[in-house]
Amino acid sequence: MNSPLPSEFTQKLSTLFGERFTTSNAVLEHHSHDESAYPPVMPQGVVFANSTDEIAQLVKYCNQYEVPIVPVAAGTSLEGHVLPIHGGIALNLNNMNQIISIHPEDLIAVVQPAVRRKQLNAELKDTGFFFPIDPGADASIGGMTATRASGTNAVRYGTMRENVLALTVVTASGDIIRTGTQAKKSSSGYDLTRLFVGSEGTLGIITEVTLKIYPQPENISAAICSFPTIVDAVSAVIQVIQLGIPIARVELVDQLAIQAINQYSKLNLKEQPTLFFEFSGSSQSIKEQTELVQEIVNSFSGENFEWATHPEDRARLWQARHNAYFACLQLQAGSRIINTDVCVPISKLAQSIEETQRDLQQSWLKAPILGHVGDGNYHVLLVIDPKEPKDLEEAERLNSRIVHRAIALGGTCTGEHGVGMHKIDFLVDEYGQDAIDVMRSIKRSLDPKNILNPGKMLKI
C-alpha cells in the first residue's frame, strides 16, 4: 500500500493544473492498465499536461515530495510499462498531440509526444514524405521512442533508434534539455538521444521528438507466398537478407496465425506457413528485387506466390497482417495473450524457431507465431485464459525457455516491445551483472530519488 499523496503536494498540483489534476476514481481506473496481461494498478492522481514547461514544474514537485511519476499516452504497451506499480502520478500526455513542424527540405518532422503514428502519416501524406516505423498498434511517437519500437518496416528503415534525431526531455530535477540538433550526424558529446530512446520513462520524460522522414516510394508492390514448413520460409528470408536485397518488409505468419487471420479478416489464405513481402522503389528496381526473391522462394519450395500491386489489395493484405494480434485473441473466447519478443542473429533464426516449435508442440496452449523475420525478430503469441493460473504459469515457462534459448544463440530478450515489468530479470541473463550495474549507476545519477517510472527496466 502506498502512503497517501502529501496534501501540500496535491495543493500545488491543483494550483498549477486546476481540473487537469484529478483523483477521481473513474479517471484513476482509466489509467490502471495497458495492453499487457498484468492486473490493473491505480495511480494516486492523474495530471493532463499541456506543455513541456508544465511537466518541468510537475516533475520538480514530484522530486521534492518523492512522488513517482509515470508518463502515458496511447497506453499500447505489452509489457506493463505504464502501470503505476508504486503509486504516484500518471502523467497523461494526450493533450500534447500536435505536429509542431514538418521540414521536407531536411527530411525531418518535429512532434509532441502524444502524436500517433497514423496521425503523423495522415499529415505527411500530401507532402510526398512518410514516417516508416510501424509497430502495428497506433502507438504514440513518445511511447515508441521510449520503448525503442520498430515493426514491419525496420528491415528497410531501422528502428526508433535510427529514426529519432533529437529529443526534448524533462529530467528528474525538472530541467528541460535538448539532446541533439537537426543536423543529420554529429560527434558532439555523449549520445543522450540514444540514451533516452528506449529508456522507458525511467531517465527523463520525453516531451518533443525530432524524427527522420522519408520520400514516399515511387511504387509499392506486395506478395504472399506459402511454404511447406516454417523453416523453409525462414531459410528463404535468411538468403534474401544475406544477399542484401533491399526489401521493404518481410513478415512470417505461421499456419495457426493464418487460420486466425482467415477467420478474423474473412480471407481465404492457404493455411500454411506464409511470408508477406513488400517491395518498393522504381518499377525497374522492384522488378529486379522480385525476380531475385522469387528465385530464392522457389528454391525453398515456396508456392502460391501471389501479387497484390493494387493499393486496395495491398492494404487489405497488410491490414490482415496488422490485425493478426486481434485475430489470435479470437482463437479462444475470453483469452489474453502473453507475447514473446526475442530477436536473434539471422543465421540462428531457423534453429531458434524450430526448437521453439518443439516446445510449443508439447504444450496445451495455443501459440501462433508472427515474425519480423528480416530482422531475426519473432513473436510467439501465447494464448491464455486469464482465469487459469496454470495457463499464465505455462506461458511464462515457455517464454523463459524461448528467451534463454535466444540469449544462448547470441540474441536478445526483446527485439521491440521493451522491458517494462516483464523482462527485468532476463536483462541480467542477457547482459551480465556488471553491465546492469553500469545501467543502474546511470539511473541513480540521473534519478537519485527513483521517481521516474519506478519498478520498470531495472531493479534499483
Interaction residues for a second copy, span 129-188 (CB under 8 A): 147-150, 154, 158-159, 161-162, 171, 175-188
- Does 296 interact with a second copy (rule: CB under 8 A)? no
Distance from C-alpha of 191 to C-alpha of 373, rounded to nearest angstrom: 29
DSSP annotation string for 238-306: HHHHHTT---SEEEEE-HHHHHHHHHHHT----SS-EEEEEEEESHHHHHHHHHHHHHHHHHTT-EEEE
- Element of type H or E holding 219: strand 219-226
* Shortest distance in whole angstroms from residue 360 CB to a second copy: 21
Stretch that binds a second copy, among 222-230, 266-274, 386-394, 434-442 (CB under 8 A): 434-442
* Shortest distance in whole angstroms from residue 69 CB to a second copy: 18
At a CB cut-off of 8 Å and minimum separation 6, what does 339 contact? 78, 325, 379, 380, 381, 382, 417
Sites for a second copy among residues 222-281 (CB under 8 A): 238, 241-244
Sites for a second copy among residues 373-402 (CB under 8 A): 375-377
Q: Give the contact letters, 340-369, x = binds to a second copy (CB under 8 A), - = no.
A: -x-xxxxx----------------------
Q: Which is nearer to a second copy, 353 or 365 (CB)?
A: 353
Stretch that binds a second copy, among 36-44, 83-91, 114-122, 189-197 (CB under 8 A): 189-197
Q: Are 280 and 286 spatial neighbours (Cβ–Cβ below 8 Å)? A: yes
- Element of type H or E holding 233: helix 230-242
Q: Which is nearer to a second copy, 50 or 186 (CB)?
A: 186
Hey, what's the cell of 278? 513488400
* Shortest distance in whole angstroms from residue 302 CB to a second copy: 20
Q: Which is nearer to a second copy, 4 or 246 (CB)?
A: 246
- The vertex-369 CA angle with 221 and 295, nearest 5°, equals 40
Q: Is the dihedral of CA 192, 198, 201, 207 positive or negative?
A: positive
* Shortest distance in whole angstroms from residue 251 CB to a second copy: 15
Q: Give the contact letters, 94-123, x = binds to a second copy (CB under 8 A), - = no.
A: ---------xxxxxx---------------
* Shortest distance in whole angstroms from residue 418 CB to a second copy: 4
